[in-house]
Structure 1
Amino acid sequence: MNAAAASLLIRRGIPRARAPIVVASRLPVPSLFRGLASLDKDGLRAILPVRKAFDLPDPGRGSYPRPPLSKIVSTIGPTSENFDTLQEVVSEGMRIMRLNFSHATFEEANLRIDNLKRCRGETTRLGRNGNNDNNLRAILLDTRGPEIRSGKLADDLDGKKSIELRGGDRITLHTSDIVRDAGSTASDLYIDYPGLASVVQPGSRVLLDDGAVVLNVLESYVATEAVTCEVEDTGDIRSRAGVNLPGCPTDLPPLSKKDEIDIRYGLERDIDYVAASFVQDAKGVNATRAFCASVLYEEMGLDKNTHPLPLIIAKIESVQALHNFDEILAAADGIMVARGDLGVEIPIQQVTNAQKEMIARCNEVGKPVVVATQMLESMINSPRPTRAEVADITNAIYDGADAVMLSGETAKGKYPVAAVRMMNDIVRGAERFEKEAPDLAVGGRRRKPFKMVEVKKNINDVSMSAVAAAEKIDAKAIIVLTNSGTIPRFLAAHRPHCPILAFCPTYKIGRQLQIHRGVHPIVEIDGLEAHKRPSAAMRDAKDLGFISSGDDVVMVCVDKGTTDFFTMKITTVS
């Protein structure tokens, strides 16, 4: 060991190794690791920057029993829709049930919604009749969205026929009724988008069946409604294959007729969120919200004051949506990073970069963001995930995701309950490390400060002060008494490391808070006098196991009937 290295170790209080430590960069890396291996435990912890990770206990539920701050969205389908399985999924941590209307029928959706309402939730422990209505588990209706599809194959009587498109072959895409009626072949394929020839040009790509087959455009003929392409690689397609036109602006309506029918059904069943698929710009978000308003307040005649609109979650899954992301974010109530279709439209190696950028922008304006698609894909058939999937979820949490979503894992997989349990444990472990070693969890960077500008400054100031106080005293919880859900949303935007217990007047407000990181909604007792609300909230939080005697908590209250008078105090649980 040279003198400089020895001096450095002595200054740090690290004992000399039993064997020399080779630190010169010219020598092979294994020499350095042999030297590190010769250090005792204290020396190793002092020299390695990740020492905090070694000190953390196993992030299982025994050592870190509270629910995770980030939320779990689960798609409920054939393998998870029965009551017993759904109860287990709820108990393992599902906060939002996703209904995928690309596949679900109304009959199937009715079964899933009815079974969810029967499930027990943690508020059952409070012993209140009805307070666990829907367990305050929310329902997200995911639309199919406007889409482009190929036509039915010729002589495909049962829908099971497929044709092979060979690499290097030429194929003509048609939008005329003649080809549609005759049926598609390997040389002539019907596409159900009339404007196809107008939006593509030589050099454009047409993707069939989620990119399984790629066609390169050679010529486009608007007059004859035809597009000549060359097949890039050999592949098979079936009737009604999905079609993507990456980078080509389309004029599809924001809502298809099917979407309108599905959303109308969902509003009748009191769904909490609408995930708007294939949104291209702010107009698509606004059109979805306007349609919901027309159904609720004009067709159904409901009162705006007692029946709020479902929150609109914009799914980002195209190049055009990425280009218009800022205006979509401004119009939407939240964002879903839909990595499946997005990975078809943009180079797959760019999906992670896009994900990080979108999450950062959502965090900056305080709007919730859900990361979706293939998070535990291997658990469709395997009881355990891959290490890469664990890292994917962990890094989504470090990036700042409010929620992570399971799709086929819980809808059609063999292990739906195990998938939710695994997601819960991964999120819990990531959050524990993020709190203990924030400089490592976020890669040494600091998130941009939250800056929501369209609301009153005093709400943000109180929220920021409450979170700062909670971090300073290492509070076990922030308890907030809210009338509209606004303050919990602001508190969540500042991303505290403790849960936000949001005491709400209605089930609807509570369920619509579920998508926000850290917010755990609880419905208050009806008719409680204002001066009794804080003590009742403390008692409920204690009964639910969030806090115990001797814990420090931060409490934020707003006077009923006003949003201008707030009180914040730090108190110790008696």
Structure 2
Amino acid sequence: MVSQISKPSIESLHLSSPQELLSTLQQLRQTVESEGKATFDEWNPHIQRTAFIDSALNLAEYLALRRHDLRSLQAALMPWGLSSLGRIEGRVMPNLDAVIATLEVICGSQSDRHCQRPPVEFFFEGDRFLQQHTEELFGESSPHRRVRIMVTLDTEAATNYELVRGFIQRGANCMRINCAHDTPEIWQGAIDNIRRAERETGTPCKIMMDLGGPKIRTGAVFMPHHKKRVFKGDRIVLSRQVPESDSAADPAKSPHVKQFQTSCTIPSILDLLAVDTPVYIDDGKIWTQVVDTQYHIAHEQPGLLLEVTNTSPKGVKLKPEKGMNFPDTVLDLSPLTEQDLTDLDFVAAHADIVGYSFVQRPADIELLQQELAKRCEHRLSPPAIVAKIETAIAVSNLPELIVYAAGKGSFGVMIARGDLAVQIGYQRLTEIQEEMLWICEAAHIPVIWATQVLENLVKDGIPSRGEMSDVAMSERAECVMLNKGPFIAEAIDILDDVLTRMEAHQLKKTPQLRALHSW
């Protein structure tokens, strides 16, 4: 809930005197300190790692601060050269104290609430904590670049050593293995190549293994004889189970089918859907909404009837094994499937980092921590955890997810922009991405910028202009992830170059003011 500071209100501060600004900031500081402490006291029982205590307190104070609309206050401070609240994430109280102390000097104030200017080391302590937590997760940075590069490996990495070695030599700091694909034998081959390349190049490289999580996908697809693509206004029958059949791939073999038909790999989800509920298919390429929850086909169990509300004007092929999203529906699913638990036996023994898909609540974090503890008795410490934030629930629970995870071990956050955009709406993605970056910086937690980074370059060999702007923006994260493709090596080169250049101009939200050589 956003609140306002009273007497004077922040809206009236744009022409305020230094004395009025000082009084407002003193009141704001007192509120932030008391509310932040109350939140921290609730979190404290879940924090076992002493290295995270100061970070958790700063996060609690930042949340207390951001409950207020500070725009007018920020503008009122600008004429006095004090507009530093916009870069307060990593150091809430030292920043407030520094502004208050300066205003006291301007006002000649010697009140009972006199504020001592914080020591310089306090002011930059947040940066030091973030660097420390990032090194715990990803190891030391490259000599010329702060932001790490993560590369998603494909099957070829298991048998092509030179490919893996080339990635590391070009600047990859972390390799990602997606457990939704391939087998433990293939994973082992890729890991052996990574470790060999580390030894031969003398360059460390972390390994992150992503658990597959619950796969909410389309099943077999049946198409009408006369149609091969789905268009706006078409209807799709979503059944609890569609019989597997060769005719699914060839509409000519199923002339009796009158409309598109598919199923959901987790049928219980259908019971949660009501009329007008949105259902997105194939990463949002097909938007639909439920128009009937008891639709019958012959003698089958009733399914859902969906109407396509948006898709490409050229139509989209409805295919099996495509992701399904339910943005307005709370899915009470365990993020650890039976397959994940089996895979975790291998992951716990070989990975430096576990990528956690579909995590939404603090209990999900505790579940993975418990399962890792069972499998890591002989390791000095369990693998670090990276939570993939891909639902609206996960976004709203982000502070608690951070506390429960980082309070016990090394932790990072991945902004999974693909699923997240479908879940919250593309128009909100940039806004939510910014807010997540701020929250994580306040907690001194490293962030992975993921999904479709340099996708055109990776797949086709030529980047788009928009992709280059996206890469420049990604400098504010601690790691940028590239997905697999035939031109991944070229993408590493360009990403390394752009990140290095941007780092000379920008550090998180702070301009570096490097000399301009173009004019």
The alpha carbon displacement at 1:438 in A equals: 3.8
DSSP-derived class of the 1:97 partner: strand
- Work out whether residues 73 and 94 of structure 1, in 8 Å CA contact, stay in contact via their aligned partners in 2: yes
DSSP-derived class of the 2:229 partner: strand
Alignment of 1:87-236 (within 5 A): 87-120=165-198, 132=202, 135-153=203-221, 164-175=229-240, 177=241, 179-180=242-243, 186-221=259-294, 226-232=303-309, 233=311, 234-236=315-317
Code of the residue aligned with 1:84 in structure 2: it is E
Query: Where does residue 260 of structure 1 map in the other structure?
Result: 341
Q: Tell me, which stretches of 5 or more residues in structure 2 are unaligned?
A: 1-141, 249-256, 406-410, 515-519
- Work out whether residues 369 and 403 of structure 1, in 8 Å CA contact, stay in contact via their aligned partners in 2: yes
Query: Where does residue 58 of structure 1 map in the other structure?
Result: none
Code of the residue aligned with 2:277 in structure 1: it is S
Shift in alpha-carbon separation, 1:188–1:91, aligned structure 2, 3 A: closer
Matched, 1:240 2:321: yes
- Work out whether residues 169 and 231 of structure 1, in 8 Å CA contact, stay in contact via their aligned partners in 2: yes
Give the helix-richer structure, 1 or 2.
2
TM-score by structure 2 length?
0.61
Query: Where does residue 471 of structure 2 map in the other structure?
Result: 393
Query: Where does residue 552 of structure 1 map in the other structure?
Result: none
- Work out whether residues 277 and 315 of structure 1, in 8 Å CA contact, stay in contact via their aligned partners in 2: yes
Shift in alpha-carbon separation, 1:387–1:222, aligned structure 2, 3 A: closer
- CA distance, structure 1, for counterparts of residue 189 and residue 506 of structure 2: 39
DSSP-derived class of the 2:208 partner: strand
- CA distance, structure 1, for counterparts of residue 457 and residue 156 of structure 2: 13
Shift in alpha-carbon separation, 1:245–1:422, aligned structure 2, 3 A: same
Query: Where does residue 426 of structure 1 map in the other structure?
Result: 498
- Work out whether residues 372 and 404 of structure 1, in 8 Å CA contact, stay in contact via their aligned partners in 2: yes
DSSP-derived class of the 2:345 partner: helix
DSSP-derived class of the 2:448 partner: strand
DSSP-derived class of the 1:118 partner: helix
Query: Where does residue 27 of structure 1 map in the other structure?
Result: none
- CA distance, structure 2, for counterparts of residue 392 and residue 166 of structure 1: 31
Query: Where does residue 398 of structure 2 map in the other structure?
Result: 325
Shift in alpha-carbon separation, 1:221–1:295, aligned structure 2, 3 A: farther
Query: Where does residue 373 of structure 1 map in the other structure?
Result: 451
Which deviations, in whole Å up to 9, do the C-alpha atoms of 1:118-147 show, x marking residues without a partner?
11469x6xxxxxxx5xx4311100122112
Query: Where does residue 291 of structure 1 map in the other structure?
Result: 371
Code of the residue aligned with 1:317 in structure 2: it is E
Query: Where does residue 144 of structure 2 map in the other structure?
Result: 67
- CA distance, structure 2, for counterparts of residue 429 and residue 360 of structure 1: 23
Shift in alpha-carbon separation, 1:436–1:310, aligned structure 2, 3 A: closer
The alpha carbon displacement at 1:315 in A equals: 0.3
DSSP-derived class of the 1:164 partner: coil
The alpha carbon displacement at 1:290 in A equals: 1.4
- CA distance, structure 2, for counterparts of residue 422 and residue 121 of structure 1: 25
- CA distance, structure 2, for counterparts of residue 258 and residue 180 of structure 1: 23
Moved more, 113-122 or 315-324: 113-122
Moved more, 427-436 or 208-217: 427-436
Query: 1:76 aligned to 153, 165, 168, which one?
Result: 153
Shift in alpha-carbon separation, 1:225–1:317, aligned structure 2, 3 A: farther
- Work out whether residues 504 and 512 of structure 2, in 8 Å CA contact, stay in contact via their aligned partners in 1: no
- Work out whether residues 93 and 421 of structure 1, in 8 Å CA contact, stay in contact via their aligned partners in 2: yes
DSSP-derived class of the 2:493 partner: helix
Query: Where does residue 407 of structure 1 map in the other structure?
Result: 483
Which deviations, in whole Å up to 9, do the C-alpha atoms of 1:197-244 show, x marking residues without a partner?
332222211111212222111233499653222122442112232211
Shift in alpha-carbon separation, 1:441–1:113, aligned structure 2, 3 A: farther
Give the strand-richer structure, 1 or 2.
1
Query: 2:386 aligned to 306, 313, 337, which one?
Result: 313
Q: How many residues are matched? A: 347
- CA distance, structure 2, for counterparts of residue 222 and residue 173 of structure 1: 9
Shift in alpha-carbon separation, 1:168–1:88, aligned structure 2, 3 A: same
Alignment identity in percent?
Answer: 28
- CA distance, structure 2, for counterparts of residue 238 and residue 260 of structure 1: 28
DSSP-derived class of the 1:195 partner: helix
Code of the residue aligned with 2:232 in structure 1: it is G
- Work out whether residues 174 and 208 of structure 2, in 8 Å CA contact, stay in contact via their aligned partners in 1: yes
- CA distance, structure 1, for counterparts of residue 401 and residue 507 of structure 2: 31
Code of the residue aligned with 1:280 in structure 2: it is Q
Shift in alpha-carbon separation, 1:245–1:139, aligned structure 2, 3 A: same
Code of the residue aligned with 1:315 in structure 2: it is K
- CA distance, structure 2, for counterparts of residue 375 and residue 207 of structure 1: 22
Moved more, 360-369 or 141-150: 141-150
- Work out whether residues 216 and 230 of structure 1, in 8 Å CA contact, stay in contact via their aligned partners in 2: yes
DSSP-derived class of the 2:463 partner: coil
Shift in alpha-carbon separation, 1:221–1:110, aligned structure 2, 3 A: same
Shift in alpha-carbon separation, 1:104–1:67, aligned structure 2, 3 A: farther
- CA distance, structure 2, for counterparts of residue 109 and residue 96 of structure 1: 15
- Work out whether residues 477 and 508 of structure 2, in 8 Å CA contact, stay in contact via their aligned partners in 1: no
TM-score by structure 1 length?
0.56
Matched, 1:346 2:439: no
Query: Where does residue 362 of structure 2 map in the other structure?
Result: 282
Which deviations, in whole Å up to 9, do the C-alpha atoms of 1:326-364 show, x marking residues without a partner?
222223321100111112222212212111111111010
- CA distance, structure 2, for counterparts of residue 361 and residue 436 of structure 1: 13
- CA distance, structure 2, for counterparts of residue 79 and residue 416 of structure 1: 13
Which deviations, in whole Å up to 9, do the C-alpha atoms of 1:373-416 show, x marking residues without a partner?
1111121244453332222122121xx311111112xxx22x22
Code of the residue aligned with 2:387 in structure 1: it is A
The alpha carbon displacement at 1:436 in A equals: 13
The alpha carbon displacement at 1:99 in A equals: 0.3
DSSP-derived class of the 1:165 partner: coil
- Work out whether residues 79 and 416 of structure 1, in 8 Å CA contact, stay in contact via their aligned partners in 2: no
- CA distance, structure 2, for counterparts of residue 285 and residue 391 of structure 1: 34
DSSP-derived class of the 1:94 partner: coil
- Work out whether residues 359 and 394 of structure 2, in 8 Å CA contact, stay in contact via their aligned partners in 1: yes
- CA distance, structure 1, for counterparts of residue 307 and residue 438 of structure 2: 39
- Work out whether residues 221 and 261 of structure 2, in 8 Å CA contact, stay in contact via their aligned partners in 1: no
